[in-house]
Structure 1
């Protein structure tokens, strides 16, 4: 029988640390800290809200991160 796969661990990182950063700089920083998926969306965007381990979401307004959350 094949082993049960375990999801990769997501980085131990505080999303609030990205708020106020330039969107490009925030994405580079997140990837360097181990986030496998980084999603940037404009304010009020309609997005799927399924939780995805290893994903970091940025709400970006005028080129800056105004909100950030995991999943």
Structure 2
């Protein structure tokens, strides 16, 4: 059986630093910092609970990031 591959290092970046930023600025900054996937969601959006390595999620209210989390 083949060994499980080691995923690349996840960005050493705190999601809390994006809260309050305008969504376009936050998305651009997250990609510059190495997040492979950046997802912006409206409050209450139904999402799956699987953890995706390298993904950063934003909950967006009135054009600004209200909450941010990994996965």
* Range class of TM-score, shorter chain: over 0.9
**Structure 1, unpaired ranges of 5+:** none
User: After TM superposition, what 4+ stretches of structure 1 lie above 4 angstroms from structure 2?
Assistant: none
What TM-score results when the alignment is normalised by the length of structure 2?
0.93
Cα distance in 2 between the residues matched to 1:15 and 1:57: 9
Q: How does 1:1-71 map to 2 (within 5 A)?
A: 4-71=4-71
What TM-score results when the alignment is normalised by the length of structure 1?
0.93
**Structure 2, unpaired ranges of 5+:** none
Number of residue pairs matched?
Answer: 71
